Homo-oligomer: A and B are copies of this chain.
Amino acid sequence: MTGAHGYSSQKDNYTKRLRRIEGQVRGIAKMIDEDKYCIDVLTQISAVNSALQSVALGLLDEHLSHCVSHAVAEGGDEADKKLAEASAAIARLVRS
């Protein structure tokens, strides 16, 4: 499925943040390859997890305000489906 989404207006912001996270992950692989100290590697992993969580929370916020809200305003099965789908995504984030 493609097309405009809740996050579309912020696309550049998100892709930029993900490029930076990608670089951080590459840096962690390099740290391990160069036998860097384990605790320093763990600190970097915690930082990447927090950065990914922020991206996820931003995407979710815009998804609720746009896709889910539009579906709810129209009502019917699509609204129920979108709400169930959002709740499942939230549960995955909380538990991951």
Chain A residues with CB under 8 Å of chain B are 1-8, 11, 14-15, 18-19, 21-22, 25-26, 28-29, 32-43, 45-50, 52-53, 55-57, 59-65, 67-69, 72-73, 75, 79-80, 83, 85-87, 89-96
Residues of B within 8 A of A15 (CB): 29, 32-33
In the complex, the answer to whether A18 meets B25 with C-beta atoms within 8 Å is yes
Residues of B within 8 A of A56 (CB): 42, 45-46, 94
Q: How many copies does the complex hold?
A: 4
CA distance A15 to B7 in the complex (A): 32
Q: A22-B26, A61-B90, A95-B95 are in contact. List 16 more A-B contacts (CB 8 A).
A: A2-B35, A2-B36, A5-B37, A6-B38, A7-B32, A7-B38, A15-B29, A18-B28, A22-B25, A42-B59, A42-B63, A42-B92, A46-B89, A49-B49, A72-B72, A93-B94
